[in-house]
């Protein structure tokens, strides 16, 4: 028998992307069910040549038996319905921030800490999109050189704010007078160093996610992370400028070999040929792309790099599906 999988929030941007990824990957799915709110319940979705009716999300249906439930419907929905599904004995992969820092709930990037899921059943948290791509690139280096400190600046696509943000950017590119509704300032032809709410210490919630999620995924609270997250007028794909201080001095050739041989990473680093990853080139793919590798001019223990990934795929949908695949391999 194949898997019985449910997708909660199936009509949202990430939910639809989860359905796309499930269709693309060779996973043995016997039954796929899609759930949403009253607004879209009853609508039809096409998946692998067949029509699926969107079911209304209720507590009763979450108490049924599933192999996996993939949630992408926001924190409040996850708080209510994922808890019910867990009590019924189901395994849930949740894309919201609701459970990420909850003790006892694993925060998983399969390439980094997927091995910890053996024999696990319950809620699994999918990390923040910016954190996912960064830790995929840094984990193999941390194993060898041990990371002391990370300074990261992100350049995040508007799709991370949902479909309304995409529409806002499209309209502002056509009309300089189009009002800003999703963002506090105009996003077209602009950069906003402000993602999510500001904390009293001056950092935004998005920046603090990168701090604490990185430490949890890497299982190392000693790693220092200083993040600045910026929204840029790009539709899909997050980019990151990352500078890492290690305990020991990395050798550049060895770093290249480590990255080239790591699952889920594509090294695109040939400055002489102007080869480096950009959001346009990596959109629609599942890998994490790394380029602009260079040693610090002054400190031999410091390395800088440029990391790019599709935020809706590896940053959300693909990572969730890969968690399912990892758990199936661990059985």
Length of the chain, in residues: 331
**232 and 138 together in one domain:** yes
**123 and 153 together in one domain:** no
**294 and 145 together in one domain:** yes
Q: Which of 34, 191, 238, 301 is catalytic?
A: 238
User: By C-alpha distance, which of 156, 114, 116, 105 is closest to 135?
Assistant: 114
Q: Which of 4, 34, 115, 129 is catalytic?
A: 129
Q: What is the pLDDT of residues 89-111, one digit of tens each?
A: 999 999 999 999 999 999 999 99
**211 and 324 together in one domain:** no
Range of the domain at 299: 130-311
CATH code, domain with 54: 3.40.50.720
**241 and 262 together in one domain:** yes
Sign of torsion, CA 63 64 65 66?
A: negative
- The first and second tokens of residue 216, run together, are 């949890």
**Is 301 marked active-site?**
no
**8 and 74 together in one domain:** yes
**185 and 46 together in one domain:** no
**140 and 82 together in one domain:** no
pLDDT, the chain, mean: 97
**286 and 156 together in one domain:** yes
Strands 44-47 and 3-8: unpaired
pLDDT value at position 26? 83
Q: In the chain, how many domains are there?
A: 2
**21 and 111 together in one domain:** yes
- The first and second tokens of residue 22, run together, are 């499930």
Q: What is the pLDDT of residues 211-237, one digit of tens each?
A: 999 999 999 999 999 999 999 999 999
267 dihedral zone (left: phi>0; alpha: psi -120 to 50; beta)? beta
How far, in Å, are 171, 172, 188 from residue 177 at the CA level? 9, 7, 11
**114 and 11 together in one domain:** yes
**Is 238 marked active-site?**
yes
pLDDT value at position 1? 78
Residue 313 pLDDT greater than 90, yes or no = yes
- The first and second tokens of residue 194, run together, are 């402000």
Q: What is the pLDDT of residues 157-214, one digit of tens each?
A: 999 999 999 999 999 999 999 999 999 999 999 999 999 999 999 999 999 999 999 9
CATH code, domain with 139: 3.30.360.10
Distance CA 78, CA 62 (A): 11
**44 and 134 together in one domain:** no
User: By C-alpha distance, which of 237, 261, 221 is closest to 314?
Assistant: 237
Residue 292 pLDDT greater than 90, yes or no = yes
């Amino acid at each position: 028998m194949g898997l019985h999988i449910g997708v909660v929030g199936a009509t949202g941007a990430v939910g639809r992307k989860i359905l796309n990824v499930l269709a693309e990957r060779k996973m043995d799915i016997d039954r796929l069910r899609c759930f949403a709110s009253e607004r879209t319940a009853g609508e039809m979705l096409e998946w692998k040549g067949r029509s699926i009716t969107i079911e209304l999300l209720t507590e009763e249906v979450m108490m049924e038996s599933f192999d996996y439930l993939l949630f992408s419907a926001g924190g409040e929905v996850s708080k209510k319905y994922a808890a019910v599904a867990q009590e019924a004995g189901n395994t849930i992969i949740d894309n919201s921030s609701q459970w990420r820092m909850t003790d006892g709930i694993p925060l998983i990037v399969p390439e980094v800490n997927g091995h910890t899921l053996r024999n696990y059943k319950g809620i699994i948290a999918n990390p923040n999109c910016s954190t996912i791509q960064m830790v995929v690139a840094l984990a193999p280096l941390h194993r060898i050189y041990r990371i002391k400190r990370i300074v990261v600046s992100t350049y995040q696509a508007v799709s991370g704010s949902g479909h309304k943000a995409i529409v806002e950017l499209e309209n502002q590119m056509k009309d300089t007078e189009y009002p800003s509704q999703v963002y506090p300032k105009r996003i077209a032809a602009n950069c906003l160093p402000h993602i999510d709410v500001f904390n009293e210490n001056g950092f935004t919630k998005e920046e603090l996610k990168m701090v604490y999620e990185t430490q949890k995924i890497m299982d190392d609270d000693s790693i220092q992370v200083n993040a600045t997250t910026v929204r840029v007028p790009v539709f899909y794909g997050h980019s990151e400028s990352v500078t890492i201080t290690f305990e020991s001095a990395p050798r550049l050739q060895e770093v290249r070999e480590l990255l080239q041989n790591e699952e889920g990473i594509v090294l695109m680093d040939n400055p002489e040929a102007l080869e480096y990853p950009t959001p346009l080139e990596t959109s629609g793919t599942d890998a994490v792309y790394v380029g602009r590798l260079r040693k610090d001019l002054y400190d031999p223990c410091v390395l800088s790099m440029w990391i790019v990934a599709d935020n809706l795929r590896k940053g959300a949908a693909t990572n969730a599906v890969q968690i399912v695949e990892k758990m199936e391999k661990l059985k």
